[in-house]
Amino acid sequence: MTVRPMVNRDSQFFWDGTRAGELRIQRCNACGARRFPPGPACQSCDAYDRGYDVAAGTGTVFSYVVHRHPPVPGKELPIVIALIDLDEGVRMVGEVVDVSDEEIEIGMPLRVDFNRIDDELTLPVWRRAEEMP
Ligand SMILES: [Zn+2]
């Protein structure tokens, strides 16, 4: 069993994106401001004209929490959850895999990967990125 995220009109594009292997960031078509989490109206200009950009899928750890308790269905604990600063300038929450709770650190470069759960749902996960040369 997997904890399924809420998919609604505001976030549908995001989940369509992960299914297609894309990390999409909502962008206002009126003023170009990017935002996360997605919402109906632009926080900069109040327009309802929504579009999106496809992110490069790279970012760095802004902060993180290690989830040890309570148990999460279908998950082995601990889970590392990070706030990730994307290179595009938005911050999103994501699960970091293949990095232990002892290794994770602020500023660590990460790269998104996609974990296909089923036909409907693909979850973004984050892995350690190679250091930039
Ligand atoms: Zn706007």
* Domain ranges, ordered by start, for the chain: 12-126
CA of residue 101 to ligand 1 center, whole Å: 38
Select the more confidently predicted residue: 2 or 1.
Answer: 2
CA of residue 71 to ligand 1 center, whole Å: 40
In DSSP terms, 58 is beta-bridged to 111
CA of residue 41 to ligand 1 center, whole Å: 8
DSSP per-residue codes, 48-106: --EEEEE--SEEEEEEEEEE-SS--TT-PSPEEEEEEEETTS-EEEEEE-S--TTT--T
Supply the pLDDT for residue 76. 87
Over pLDDT 70: what percentage of the chain? 95
Closest C-alpha among 118, 114, 93 to residue 127: 114
Per-residue confidence band for 1, with pLDDT thresholds at 50, 70 and 90: low
| Helix (H/G/I), strand (E/B), else coil: 52 | strand
CA of residue 50 to ligand 1 center, whole Å: 8
Pairing of strands 109-116, 122-128: antiparallel
Structure tokens at 53: 């950009």
Torsion angle of C-alpha atoms 91, 96, 100, 101, degrees rounded to 10: 40
pLDDT in tens, 15-69: 999 999 999 999 999 999 998 888 889 999 999 999 999 999 999 999 999 999 9
Residue 37 preceded by cis peptide, ω within 30: yes
CA of residue 25 to ligand 1 center, whole Å: 14
CA distance 114 to 126: 8
pLDDT in tens, 64-115: 999 999 988 888 899 999 999 999 999 999 999 999 999 999 999 999 999 9
Total residue length of the chain:
133
CA of residue 10 to ligand 1 center, whole Å: 15
